[in-house]
Amino acid sequence: MLVLALSPEDSMSNTAPTTREHSINWVSSIPFFAAHLVALVAPFFVTFHWSYVVWALALYYLRMWAVTLGYHRYFSHRAFKTSRVFQFLLAFAAETSSQKGVLWWAANHRHHHRESDQPTDLHSPLQDGFWWSHVGWILSDKYVETREDAIRDFARFPELRFLNRFFLLPPILLAVATFLIGGFPLLVWGFFVSTVLLWHGTFTINSLSHVFGSRRYKTSDTSRNNFLLALVTCGEGWHNNHHYHQNTANQGWFWWEVDASFYVLKALSALGLVWDLRLPSDAVKYAFEKYTPEERAALESMPAMFGKARLAALAARAKVAEAVKGATELAGPAPLPVLRRR
Ligand SMILES: [Zn+2]
Ligand SMILES: [Zn+2]
């Protein structure tokens, strides 16, 4: 195991101790790097057909929907309701993304919202740099266990505990299916290329969505709204909206904020498969209209977070946190209206 110790300067934070150590377990990470190798090299050695590219993209977006609707909006945030059977199907489909167990994913994500950009956040580009927030934290030994205390509401379902424990089962079944359908070329494109793209597409929300984009709402973290990331992640790129009010079924709150996951959710709602979609009230959506010029300036004062600029950002964050103290969801914006089942 190689230990990456950040320099004392890099490890500075507004409240953190001056030493922070992060380690990547290179041995247990071998499958992760091997999958990258297959995805990058194997396409040059198998028969090519444009249909394989279509398969790769289709399996990317189908599974991105499962990740956003399942892992994120349902299991992490309970932004809508569904049946026990559909809940299981969502968890199974999300796990074909090879992003570990459903309870592990949702519990860690809840922790991220509780500790956003604090020294205890597991993937903060502000605290620990871009690559740690993007992928380092997943490859470390630090966050292997499921945070049971953060996900007790779903941990009581034995079928979800089974999926959480045997999280490799869904991706293996998908890999076998692609092989049986289209042989080795489809295994390469439909599983490996698609899965590696899906990993990094998902990871952008932990990394790029806290670095690039605009900030509309006062939050004490660095979350941003980014149109391109919303296209890549089926709507998750409206990350500043999301950090401002976490439990909404939609993350794009205005008509131009493309949110493909929510469109799918509306269709599933029309079919009666999901219901009680939680939506932001107008008081939440238009809260930014009441900001003072000072508050707006504070929102725009966050610099990019690389190298020295990141250290400056840590200081800026402390200033913003002070200015917007109590303005986050925890302080109690208006309650969410609920779209009732028809
Ligand atoms: Zn975030
Ligand atoms: Zn979230």
Q: What is the mean pLDDT of residues 105-113?
A: 93
**Which pLDDT tens digit goes with each residue over 202-238?**
999 988 998 899 999 988 888 999 999 999 999 999 9
Task: Tell me: pLDDT of 338 over 80.
Answer: no
Distance (Å) from CA 138 to ligand 1 centroid: 15
**Which pLDDT tens digit goes with each residue over 244-262?**
999 999 999 999 999 999 9
SS3 label, residue 82: strand
Confidence (pLDDT) at 14: 38
Confidence of residue 82 (pLDDT cuts 50, 70, 90): very high
263 vs 15, more confident: 263
Distance (Å) from CA 158 to ligand 2 centroid: 24
Environment class of residue 78 by beta-carbon count within 10 Å: exposed (0-12), middle (13-18) or buried (19+)?
middle
Distance (Å) from CA 301 to ligand 2 centroid: 24
Between CA 208 and CA 228 the distance in angstroms is: 11
Ligand nearest to the CA of 118: 1
Tell me which residue range forms the domain holding 154.
Answer: 2-339
Distance (Å) from CA 109 to ligand 2 centroid: 6
Task: Tell me: pLDDT of 326 over 80.
Answer: no
**Which pLDDT tens digit goes with each residue over 266-282?**
999 999 999 999 999 99
Triad 196, 202, 203: Cα angle to 5°: 90
Confidence (pLDDT) at 307: 57
5 vs 311, more confident: 311
Distance (Å) from CA 181 to ligand 2 centroid: 35
Confidence (pLDDT) at 327: 58
Between CA 117 and CA 128 the distance in angstroms is: 9
**Which pLDDT tens digit goes with each residue over 161-178?**
999 999 999 999 999 999
How many angstroms separate the Cα of 119 from the Cα of each of 126, 215, 235?
Answer: 9, 21, 27
Confidence (pLDDT) at 17: 36
Confidence (pLDDT) at 331: 47
28 vs 176, more confident: 176
Distance (Å) from CA 271 to ligand 1 centroid: 31
Mean pLDDT in the chain? 86
To which residue do tokens 């725009």 refer?
A: 300
Triad 233, 235, 236: Cα angle to 5°: 65
Confidence (pLDDT) at 289: 93
Distance (Å) from CA 191 to ligand 1 centroid: 27
Confidence (pLDDT) at 83: 98
Confidence of residue 189 (pLDDT cuts 50, 70, 90): very high
Distance (Å) from CA 42 to ligand 2 centroid: 34
Nearest Cα to Cα of residue 210 among 124, 107, 286: 124
- How much of the chain exceeds pLDDT 70, in percent? 82
22 vs 114, more confident: 114
Nearest Cα to Cα of residue 211 among 241, 242, 250, 237: 237
Distance (Å) from CA 205 to ligand 1 centroid: 6
Task: Tell me: pLDDT of 61 over 70.
Answer: yes
Triad 108, 120, 306: Cα angle to 5°: 100
Residue 281: other Cβ atoms inside 10 A: 15
Distance (Å) from CA 239 to ligand 1 centroid: 6
Phi, psi torsion values for 206, nearest 5 degrees: -80, -25
Phi, psi torsion values for 297, nearest 5 degrees: -65, -40
In the structure encoding, which two tokens stand for residue 276, read together? 């009680």
In the structure encoding, which two tokens stand for residue 58, read together? 């289709």
Residue 175: other Cβ atoms inside 10 A: 17
Check: CB of residue 82 under 8 Å from CB of residue 52. Answer: no
Strand partners, 278: 338
Check: CB of residue 117 under 8 Å from CB of residue 127. Answer: yes
Half-sphere exposure of 311 (CA within 13 A, CB side): 10
Distance (Å) from CA 50 to ligand 2 centroid: 35
Ligand nearest to the CA of 205: 1
Distance (Å) from CA 116 to ligand 1 centroid: 7
Q: What is the mean pLDDT of residues 134-156?
A: 91
Confidence of residue 10 (pLDDT cuts 50, 70, 90): very low
Name the DSSP letter for residue 238: B
Q: What is the mean pLDDT of residues 98-119?
A: 91
The number of folded domains in the chain is: 1
Alpha helix (H) residue ranges in the chain: 30-41, 50-66, 84-95, 102-115, 125-128, 130-131, 137-139, 152-155, 158-165, 169-186, 194-203, 227-232, 239-244, 260-270, 282-285, 293-300, 307-323
